Chains A and B, each alone.
Chain A
Amino acid sequence: MTVRALPLALAAAIAVLGLRAAPVDAQPDRAARQKAAAHFKQGQAFFQVGDYDHALVEYQAALDLSAEPSLVFNIALCHDRANRPEQALDAFRHFLELAPDSAVADEAREDIARLTPIVEKIRTDRTERAERAERAEQARLRAEQARRTDAARRVEPPAAPRPPSRAPLYVMAAGAAIAAGGGVMHLLAWRARDQAARAPDADTHFDRRDTLERDRPIAIGAYAAGAATIAIGVVLRYTVFRRAEGPQLSVTVMRDGAGVAMEWAR
């Protein structure tokens, strides 16, 4: 191919430098032809050293200035040498469309014949790769969707508002029960007191007084314990079991003492 390329390039160069190549659309002016010739010459230099990409750039510049179809052939060669068969095939075909009777037309046809199965294979491979990629992408998307679905399935539904805990009510009820017990003891103590006050003799008085002094602290203690328990229930009702934030217990130990604090954050 390298052996063939030089005469084609020379033919193109002669066409450009000789200013006799048939114009495709219109004849460029002289200055344009000179610039095109310069680009062509530079392209040839790059081509000879194997720098096909820069050569292609120079040929394209010359083509733009001169509209010389031979340059399309050279561009096709550059693509071919740069191992871009698809672009090369397209360029060869474009060249034949522009100059089907060119001296290198048969050469171009040979290249087309040579490149066509290659390109077809490339394109077939590409299509297959694309299809595989498509299938892979679709599989990935399905997997992603499945993962999302699974993840969504795993996510618990938003919890319904938690009903207020009944524990404070139980605490308050316990306090009320304790206080009621105190009330019973109060009645017993009150009866003992009345009997002591009305006792006709000392023995009865002191016996009933002993009962009074036994029951009285129980009654008062039960009142106090019941009230304290109810108070705890009230606090729990309006703080711990009502708010998302739980109680915070802070303990501070210092050199000369310690402190314990409990607070509820609202």
Chain B
Amino acid sequence: MPSRTMPSPATRASCATMHTAMWSISRSMCSAGVTALLAAGCLSTPPFQPESGLKYTANGPGGTVAGPGFELQFSRDPGIRFPDALRIDGTDVLGHETMPGCFGTDEAGILIAPTPRISAHGGALPVKNQLVAGLLGPAVVQVVLEWATRMACSLSRTPSGTSTFTVFPDGRIVRYDQLFDSSSAEVSANECACDRNADGSDGFTVATFWTLARQGFVDLRPSAQDGNLPAPGVTASSNVDSACLGGSAYQVAFAWPDPTSTSIVGGNAIIAFGRDMLYRDSRLDPYTWDNSTAIFIERSGCDAALARADEHVRPRPLMLNGETIVPSARDGIYGSVAGDGEHGVVLAANRAELTGTTHGSFAVWLRFPHATDALRATLDGKTGPWYLPQRVDDRAWLVWFRDPISTGQTIVIEPR
């Protein structure tokens, strides 16, 4: 059994003094620690968030991508979380039909007509409905919507898909849709029609679409009606790879790398821009479809907008350290899809030299051999916010260049 002995008075006094001294030291050190923490908290490294860049803000289950002069809003309502607003200078230009049919085009989304529209405020029953922001700006924001629904006419048919929205600071929005339905259960358009007034005689139509509000736009190019906006129910154009809806303050162009079955159709309050993957087919066999569409917000006329759209349809290759790179149809980023399945052009050294010619802005996805904390791009004569770097992970960086690159120019990208 251990014995306890009383400390001598001297020892107790020493302990008391030690206690006092230690208490003083502890208090001072705690103060120093708190001060240091406050200092550290106040002096945390800020993210690079220039006004010329993009910013993603989650809003409940939805979210918003804000760029210079525009804003793309993903719905937080109970429907499939496709965009339900596209604001340019504060004005929502996304189409909102006054009395949309249950399988008619409205806002933005997917049609598996005559089943309920798959959109923010469509009638499709969400089975899966998840919005994931993978890239958060300032150069690129990428939001992936994973959705699935179940047909009321056949519970074994559960169409699903992913829609990837990639937004750039210059108002380019690249949308890439993938649709899946592996079920071979036979379904009848008549039985699947969400509108009992419709007879389903038109069969099934599967399409992806954007709609814009008629208000605020005055002309359409190309158009069968001499540039006028198409009347409700009228198809203005089909099988075009680009189009521009012009307004006085801004213009919006569309681009389809694959122009097959594209269409521009007028509505009461909207103009619909879509592409049909299946058109009026009596059968809805198992399918896997994908489609790429791009929107360009422009302020200097439809010519400029269409030029940008044309470059999206027919991208020009660039040379990166002597290797040819092209933009991905999935997101419009040069080097986005690498051979190993990951993103980014794999660099052998911490230096990338970019040459070639583009008509407008562009983005490059790079993967450095070593962890890189800060990046610098240089081009003779260029200063200011002519490029925006964005760190993806320790090694991967996205760089968006505001201005086109011309023949003879070389952009050097390297760690700082």
Contacts and interface: CB of A to CB of B under 8 A. Distances in A.
A and B part of one assembly: yes
Interface of A: 182, 186, 189-190, 193, 196-197, 199-203, 205-206, 209-210, 212-213, 216, 219-220, 223-224, 226-228, 230-232, 234-235, 238-239, 263-266
Given A216-B43, A220-B36, A238-B24, A199 B50 contact: yes
B28 A201 contact: no
Interface of B: 10, 13-14, 16-18, 20-21, 24-25, 27-29, 31-33, 35-36, 39-40, 42-52, 374-377, 383-389, 416
Contacts of A232: 25
12 contacts: A193-B44, A196-B48, A201-B387, A202-B48, A202-B387, A205-B48, A210-B374, A227-B28, A227-B31, A232-B25, A265-B10, A266-B16
9 tightest A-B CB contacts, nearest first: A227-B32, A231-B28, A197-B46, A201-B385, A266-B17, A266-B13, A234-B24, A206-B374, A216-B43
Contact of A223 (B35, B44, B47, B416): B35
Contacts of B385: 200-202
- Tell me the interface secondary structure of chain A in the complex: helix
Given A193-B46, A212-B45, 14 more contacts: A193-B43, A193-B44, A197-B47, A202-B389, A203-B383, A205-B48, A206-B374, A216-B43, A220-B39, A223-B36, A226-B32, A227-B35, A238-B21, A266-B14
B18 A206 contact: no
A264 B17 contact: yes
Contacts of A220: 36, 39-40
A219 B39 contact: yes
A189 B376 CA distance: 22
A234 B28 CA distance: 9
Contacts of B35: 223, 227
B48 A231 contact: no
B43 A196 contact: no
B21 A186 contact: no
A239 B25 CA distance: 12
Contacts of A216: 39-40, 43
Contacts of A193: 42-46
Given A186-B43, A190-B43, A227-B28, A265 B17 contact: yes
Nearest to B37: A220
A266 B377 CA distance: 66
A189 B42 CA distance: 9
A238 B25 contact: no
